Amino acid sequence: MRRRDIIFSALAGSASLGTLGWLLSGNRTPAKAASESFEITRTEAEWREILTETQYAVLREEATERAFTSPLNDEKRAGTYHCAGCDLPLYSSKTKFDSGTGWPSFYEALPDAVGTRTDFKLIYPRTEVHCRRCGGHLGHIFNDGPAPTGERHCINGVALTFKPQAESAS
């Protein structure tokens, strides 16, 4: 096992334990501050009706899915990844890469697809990324990705749907 694998496994385990504790604590809050507004808004009940429990936890409450659990992590076909909350095209398969972290990773979002904010949930600042249209939490952006951007958009697979190129408009 490589040192990188051990480090990522430890980090994924820590993130999973932290998320499990957070989910069990009942101290969940809506993902976005009331002062933010998005094109698509729904009540909590409406979101719960259209999303699975796991999708709701990630998109609306900023949870994190367990590493290496998303089938989209291994998706290799050409196409577009859309927001699971509002179907906005977010990422092209052309920008997807295998980061070895256990989550679908991209070096760049589609134009005008995502928004960001600073997240301090793990004490240190991280760049949280969300759907610009519905505000759904997608994951985080790190500065350890490949060229040309040097970014790694580490995205929860349950926050996405995949449309193969034949079905995709992008």
What is the Cα 55 distance to its own chain's centre?
10
Q: Per the structure block, which two tokens stand in for 136?
A: 């759904």
**86 given a catalytic annotation:** no
User: Of 83, 86, 134, 154, which residue is the catalytic one?
Assistant: 154
Question: On the CB side of 24, how many CA atoms lie within 13 Å of its CA?
Answer: 6
CB 64 within 8 A of CB 19: yes
Please, which residues have CB within 8 angstroms of residue 3's CB and are 6 or more apart in sequence? none
Among 37, 49, 75, smallest CA distance to 168 is for 75
Distance CA 57, CA 107 (A): 25
DSSP, collapsed to helix, strand or coil, labels residue 56 as helix
Give the three-state DSSP class for 160.
Answer: strand
Q: What residues are labeled active site?
A: 154
